[in-house]
Amino acid sequence: MNISGKVYRSVRHLLVAVAIVCGLFAGAGAAGADQPLKATLENGLRVVIVKDALAPVATVQMNYLVGGDESPPGFPGTAHALEHMMFRGSPGLSADQLATISSALGGRCNAETQQTVTQYFCTVPTDGVATILRVEAARMRGILAAESLWREERGALEQEIDGDLSEPEYLLFSHLLKALFADTPYARDPLGTRSSFRRTSGAMLKKFHHDWYAPNNAVLVVAGDVEPTGTLADVREIFGTIPPRPLPARPAVDLKPLKGASITIASNLSQKVAVVAYRLPGYDSPDFAAGEVLADVLDSQRGNLYALISQGKAVDVRFDSYALPKGAVGYAAVQFPGDDDADVMVAAMKRIIADYVKGGVPAELVEAAKRRAATDREFSKNSIEGLASDWSQAVAVEGRASPDDDLGAIARVTVEDVNRVARTWLRNETSVTAVLLPRASGKPVPLAKKDPGRKESLIPRRTEPVSLPPWARAAADFPALPILRPPVVSTLPNGLRILVYPVNAGKSVEVYGRVANEPDLQVPEGKEGVDDLLNTLFSYGTKNLDRIQFQKELDDIAADVTAGTDFSLKVPSESLDRGMALLAENLLRPAFPAEAFRVTRGEIAGALTGEQKSPAWFAKRTLAESVNPLRYATPASVTALSPDDLEAYYRKVFRPDMTTMVFVGDIEPDKAKALAEKYFSAWTAEGAKPDAELPAPPQNRATSHFVPDESRLQDEVMLMETLSISRDNPAYYPLQVGLHILSGDYYSSRLYKSLREKAGLVYSVEAGIEFRKKRSLFGVTFGCDPVKRDKALARLRQELLDMQTRPVSLEELRRAKAFLVRQVALAYASTEEIGRSLLDLSSEGLPLDEPVQAARGYLGVTRDDILSAFRSTIRPDGFAQVVWGPPPKRRQ
């Protein structure tokens, strides 16, 4: 589960908020490749069905047009609380049944509360769509929300609140909303507060559901490999009998004239962040499209804000926006070294904005932004989940007929439109400025470990078969083994490996590549940091094109290139040849300009100076050193680097015989190979291939450390231990199945039920094993109140011991196998997932059909196999533990 506040974890990457929509459709329209099937049922439910045969997978997304804005006065977060309770069961569908269905289908299911919408989405194999539709219909009809269930879920919500309030980016954006939209519903985010939730009752949540979760207040989007007419018939049958209801009045939004404001927040970040924020046009404004283009222009790598990086004044710069119906937040955010003056940085950003307002924005950047908008629409067809999200955004959020409405509006935007919006809205005198100031951490100290005890068993009753509703019983049928089309593989004479996976989706091609490398083995002693410097300097152009010229070439074809030991290209099909030429130019003929070298070296050294004072660095470094001590860069090692060091490392690492390149999308294998030969065949390597795989580390000893952080309300608990097995060990498949039972199937997992569902000790808990050719690490992380940490650790330990002493139940084993087998198909739900998965398999030296082999391996696992694997590999008392949280004086 999620809320819009989660997007504040990165100020630079935000999900767009939502708007109230009016009725859009009457009757039904025909479906085609570019004409989804749309209909409105008699009860008011609007339906959009989008055919996409990328994979035998579909996403069902239910959008309720209610969010944090509609929460009752004095009870912020009511919509968020209801979102949580929707997973606690409905009449005729218990929480256990819901979890069983999701697990049986291998579903990727979650939810999100934003300010004016709440969304429930689930991606499943195509044969599970009708079942998920019935789940959503049951939840639309009602929820259980008994007081006992609400008390249990409230504990998890409180942990989520404390987790978000421990994040400075979340606090920053919350303050921006309050300043830009004061005295309106937009001023509060959907998260909620501990005090409001303690005053909330299950009855209140049932009323909120009755008031707002009606078919006439919802938009259902189904995207994927479905037959539209048959799916619509299912929707009519399943939802058609749910009666509409009168809707309450929505809160009025009356935006007040802006007043300038200044915000300062102490943070645990490694560097300072300065923000200048403005109010921009919202969805309802005819200038919304021009505002979007304006934001993209200001964010351009050819723009004057981004130039702060090349001038050595900033480490990172972005301009982004977060839109609501009546207004949007537009903000410039700059990350810069801690020794620099924040007021000077704010003034610099304001001058750049003022110059654009006075002199106008460059026309070529406006055209580039419009081209990219059109290309992004084409790229959206390469992801089934992304396609469902785009249609939900357009129809349920912005009130459009389709995503193409936005695209058409952007196409009509002129340079004068953009400049008019800039003059009207980018007013420095009423802007809101904010600064995040790093606060140095205390150093790690040993943490006394309490006796975990062995007398009390905290293990709940083991999972037994759950009786499902008749309509869901087919979901429990065991899935057939997936059949996946293999990629076409070839190797150039210079050793460059080419994988090609054609798909019939959008008219675009994506390329993902990797140069196999291991800095801890390949970076010379005393040259730590040269790998980061190298990867950063690729963005400064090539020997033939400087930084601005290179970016202009990309803008002209609406392509994106990233270069480094991991590299990528996203490009419209018609411009693939030029895109490949630019990718090769960037990788094989990088410029590494002297001035850029000097500036970037200083930026990295400055960033390390701040980073190595931050609590996050102390926590993660302490954990890493406890399990596998490795070298790391320091300000001194980076400052000592020379251009010759950089060139030598580049020549040593960048070799075609260590490189894999994956093509996915609208591309034929012969053409892909021909382009690779055309632009990469002259690439050569010298000497023997280097070793790029770290040796197995020695077994770690159990340790425990505490890192104080004044900014946190919660403890972040990180546990890690070395394992004595590698990827090719026979225990791999039993461990994967066992880990899924332990934590992989979120709502059905043992850790979820033990630590969250019944006890409310955590909001989330994750466990996993990183398997490599020669080494493996097992880790567990969770966040919780300091007073709950010891109990959470005790329950975790008991769960691990239980995996070693009692066989898992037959039902758990069956569910885990079914889930893992079905997940194979879901990994092909987007071209990016396909490309990165194939790249990982190739880089790790695994068969390219490993997902199918894994499915066979999972099916062969027995309960005794899991018991044996956990006994022989996992050490419940062998973790290196780091707790990162509030200092002792603030611990309750």
pLDDT of residue 821: 92
% of the chain beyond a pLDDT of 90: 80
Tell which residue, 798, 778, 789, has the closest CA to residue 873: 778
Amino acid present at 306: Y
Tell which residue, 205, 190, 234, has the closest CA to residue 45: 234
Res. 746 pLDDT band, cuts 50 70 90: low
Range with lowest mean pLDDT among 327-331, 524-528, 675-679, 826-830: 826-830
Res. 891 pLDDT band, cuts 50 70 90: low
Q: Which residues contact 73 (CB under 8 A, 6 or more apart)?
A: none
Using DSSP, state whether 241 is helix, strand or coil. Answer: coil
pLDDT of residue 448: 60
* CA angle, residues 506, 323, 347, in degrees to nearest 5: 115
Q: Which residues contact 359 (CB under 8 A, 6 or more apart)?
A: none
Across the strands, what pairs with 438? 267
Using DSSP, state whether 493 is helix, strand or coil. Answer: coil
The per-residue pLDDT for range 188-227, each reduced to its tens digit, is: 889 999 999 999 999 999 999 999 999 999 999 999 999 9
Q: What is the dihedral of CA 292, 294, 298, 303, to 10 degrees?
A: 130
The per-residue pLDDT for range 101-124, each reduced to its tens digit, is: 988 898 899 999 999 899 999 999
The per-residue pLDDT for range 275-284, each reduced to its tens digit, is: 999 999 999 9
Q: Which residues contact 241 (CB under 8 A, 6 or more apart)?
A: none
The per-residue pLDDT for range 676-706, each reduced to its tens digit, is: 999 999 999 989 999 888 888 889 999 999 9
C-alpha to C-alpha distance for 21 and 252, rounded to whole angstroms: 15
Determine phi and psi for 99, rounding to 5 degrees.
-65, -40
Give yes or no for residue 708 having a pLDDT over 50: yes
Average pLDDT estimate for 753-770:
91
Residue 665 CA, chain-centre distance (Å), reads 22
Res. 244 pLDDT band, cuts 50 70 90: very high
Detail the DSSP E strand segments found in 746-825: 765-771, 776-784
pLDDT of residue 34: 52
Q: Mean pLDDT for the chain?
A: 91
Half-sphere exposure at residue 33, Cβ-oriented, CA atoms within 13 angstroms = 6
pLDDT of residue 450: 52
User: Of residues 129 and 442, which shows the higher confidence score?
Assistant: 129
Average pLDDT estimate for 352-367:
98
User: What Cα–Cα distance (Å) separates residue 585 from each residue in 558, 579, 588, 681?
Assistant: 17, 10, 6, 13
User: Of residues 522 and 337, which shows the higher confidence score?
Assistant: 522
Tell which residue, 225, 833, 223, has the closest CA to residue 510: 833
Q: Which helix (H) or strand (E) holds 568?
A: strand 566-572
Environment class of residue 483 by beta-carbon count within 10 Å: exposed (0-12), middle (13-18) or buried (19+)? exposed
pLDDT of residue 595: 96
Half-sphere exposure at residue 423, Cβ-oriented, CA atoms within 13 angstroms = 9
Res. 26 pLDDT band, cuts 50 70 90: very low
Average pLDDT estimate for 745-770:
88
